[in-house]
Structure 1
Amino acid sequence: MAPPTLSIVLPAKNEANSLRKLLPALREIYSDAEILVVNDGSSDETLEVAQAAGAKVVTHAYSMGNGAAVKHGARAATGEIIVFMDADGQHDPGDIPRLLERLFEGFDMVVGARDSTSQASLSRRLGNSFYNRLSSWVTGHRIEDLTSGFRVVRAKRFREFLYLLPNGFSYPTTSTMAFFRAGYLVSYVPIHANKREGKSHINLVKDGIRFFLIILKVATLYSPLKVFTPISFVFFMLGAGNYLYTYLLEGRFTNMSALMFITAILVFLMGLISEQIANLLYANTSQR
């Protein structure tokens, strides 16, 4: 039986300098693999460097975002297995065989989990740690690195969720949660990520707000009731506490208590409806 074909997808925006070293290194290790660079509206020599190295290139006329580049690359890739890695020099091509080895043990996705020394700053480490703990609680599975862009997937499985993936930087988050929600097998292999070459495209303020919204999306994407039920319970207890206080003090039931109870009911019903929508969403996915 012939081994599965391999595609290596590199989303790239103004990464000419790092690609000059990365592409030859990839070709040396995987001479038969399809190497696909998605040029996301670069203004430098990314296109020329990729073409000179013999890579297949997909070009966006303007920047559409990292997630859009990943989706375009997944559609254009011809391999049965796809390796996604950053084009900025953070990921070591030498780690790819270890990820593939784990994938062939029967997994559908294998993620390169960065060690603590790979995080750019204390705030980034704390943020990623929070994401990992939250997503682990929501899924009931240990998630070692929710936001790592270095991963190996079975192409057929990954394409099932392309319509769910955002165009920004949160494709790793969404794809991981989607795989767990669909019952696919996900594993992690520890890696060390190097310091990126060039300037990061992440804005701390803008992307900090966006990542907060991602936290909510992560939870509601997988199991909405796990989010809405605790919130509903908090409002219910606030209402009960306020009612007990006002009853003992004034002997009456106040409008504030009523508002708290009503809010608790509405939040729970919102969670129930969201849970049904999520079930329908993944039921439709399984039929694709």
Structure 2
Amino acid sequence: MTLNLEHAISIIIPAKNEASALKLFLPVLCEQYAHCEIILVDDGSTDDTYEVAQSLGIKVLRHPYSMGNGAAIKTGARAAKGDILIFMDGDGQHQPSDIKIMLERYQKGYDLIVGARSKQHQASTWRWLGNSLYNAIASWLVGQSVLDLTSGFRVVNAKKFKEFIHLIPNGFSCPTTITMAFFRSGYAVGYIPIEVKQRIGVSHLKPFSDGLKFLLIIYKMAILYSPLKIFIPFAALHFIAGISNYTYTYIAQGRFTNMSAVLLSTSIVIFLIGLVSEQITCLMYAQNRH
């Protein structure tokens, strides 16, 4: 298949202290995709990241201090002129040769293509287990198979990406947020299996604290995506507890207790809050589409 380059393409690379990796993969990227706009966002690096990128003649944007991976992505997206945005990590894991395959898949009617890593291409077994949990939760929420929720290698429609730029956190949760937002809006999301190289340098992720942050982001996105899927189970638990308590007290004492009333009333309140939240979510996404 011949790649259609009618639309402008912007390649955005967030980077923090990635000079060693950039020296190896950035020249290759610049040579293979000289026709594309390449933007590197230096997120307050203390090494030669800025100088390495600037020496190659690409557009370099610089944060005065470290604002986070998500903030760097937003900075790059706002500055990009392309109709199609390609996001790559600056640590040398992503291979420029995969871009063509992802673009070809994108042209088949998708709005977002994600480079999905397999188990053998995860940084560690613990990282794979964590990502598998995130993928499973996200798949349940959206009703579709989510193969890699946290991959930073993506091809996306620029206009549709920018609809949700206000939702993106400044930390490492941009891929999670965008994936969930695209599914919620009915945009087509696809996956391409990719191989990733060994990371050059030290990872900026902290497995425990960032793992908890990812779970919190998934919970927040669940509220934004489909609140009823969160509220209904809690409402059901309170309802079952109320019925169970009433059955026990009626058999044992022959009466309806205050505890049963509280549990049953709470289940109704939780359900109604979920219902209202669902309507608010629908209105919010409807406004984003116009």
Residue type of the alignment partner of 2:236? F
Task: Kindly indicate whether residue 205 of structure 2 is the aligned counterpart of residue 202 of structure 1.
Answer: yes
Task: Kindly indicate whether residue 164 of structure 2 is the aligned counterpart of residue 171 of structure 1.
Answer: no
Take 1:266 and 1:126, find their aligned partners in 2: how far apart are those partners? 36
Moved more, 147-156 or 269-278: 269-278
Q: TM-score, normalised on structure 1? A: 0.96
The alpha-carbon deviation at position 254 of structure 1 amounts to 2.2
Q: Percent identity?
A: 56
Task: Kindly indicate whether residue 23 of structure 2 is the aligned counterpart of residue 25 of structure 1.
Answer: no
* Aligned residue runs from structure 1 range 1-288, under 5 A: 3-287=6-290
Aligned residues: 287
Describe the shift of the 1:60–1:18 C-alpha distance in structure 2 as closer, same or farther (beyond 3 A).
same
Report the 3-state secondary structure (helix = DSSP H, G, I; strand = E; otherwise coil) of the residue aligned with 2:24: helix
Unaligned 5+ segments in structure 2 are none
Q: Deviations over 1:205-264 (max 9, x none)?
A: 321221221221232121111111111111100111111112111222222222211221
Report the 3-state secondary structure (helix = DSSP H, G, I; strand = E; otherwise coil) of the residue aligned with 1:10: strand
Q: Deviations over 1:143-176 (max 9, x none)?
A: 1111111000111111111111111111111101
Take 1:47 and 1:78, find their aligned partners in 2: how far apart are those partners? 21
Residue type of the alignment partner of 1:189? I
The alpha-carbon deviation at position 116 of structure 1 amounts to 0.8
Q: Deviations over 1:84-120 (max 9, x none)?
A: 0100011111111110010011111100010111112
Instruction: Provide the aligned C-alpha RMSD in A.
Output: 1.3
Report the 3-state secondary structure (helix = DSSP H, G, I; strand = E; otherwise coil) of the residue aligned with 1:93: coil
Residue type of the alignment partner of 2:187? Y
Unaligned 5+ segments in structure 1 are none
The alpha-carbon deviation at position 2 of structure 1 amounts to 6.2
8 Å CA contact retained: 2:17, 2:45:
yes
8 Å CA contact retained: 1:135, 1:218:
no
Describe the shift of the 1:53–1:105 C-alpha distance in structure 2 as closer, same or farther (beyond 3 A).
same
